[in-house]
Structure 1
Amino acid sequence: MEFFDLTYESPRRVAHNRAFESIGPLLWLKAGARGQKIEEATDSFAVADTYGVLFDLDTSAEFIAKVMQRESVEMAYIVTDDDRRFQLVCKELPHRVTPVRLYESYLNNFEINAGRG
């Protein structure tokens, strides 16, 4: 059983990439809440039992290789604001893996009805 605290994260803290530890459990839950959690952001990428997070697109080849080695990985979070580069990484992922784009400012991922009138 897991318990989580719902907290408010300041936009400045999120914008400076210091809130992944607070957002990480949400990614684990969305990936099925099984296996190990990715607790901290890294300079490159991290791969857990059922999901992975690509923090630096320059390490995408190594990330994809690691994801291919683990048959249990079903979801890949890709941190980027660049549409074209996101699509390039998605093309390389195995079909069993669902890619999810995470914007570099994590707040954008969780805005509800952003920009809708």
Structure 2
Amino acid sequence: MNRRTKALQFSKATMNKIADRDECCIFCKIGYRMDKIDSFQQQILSIAHYINKSQGGLGIEENGVLICQYHHHNLDNGCESLRSEMLGIIEEYLKGFYPGWKLENLKYKKYS
């Protein structure tokens, strides 16, 4: 695995820290767009990148949140306005945990 690929993956330890921090889907926690969710989708949790791996998003705590399958699908496949709204919620959520949180610190830099 090359250096970039490794940097973009969440390690097991990082995934555990994110899961411990968030405890459940951050969107379910605030009751965000719950009208079409079913209990099965709500139980399947995964770590989502704030900045996508395809855009060089690092596999670090400051770039990941725990979300359910339903909200992950909406984040990845919803309309652009829904995605923008969800990313705004994630950004504010992460800033609450990491006061020095900045977008430029979340992307892979080849020569740093």
Tell me if TM exceeds 0.5: no
Structure richer in strand, relative to its length: 1
TM-score (norm 2): 0.28
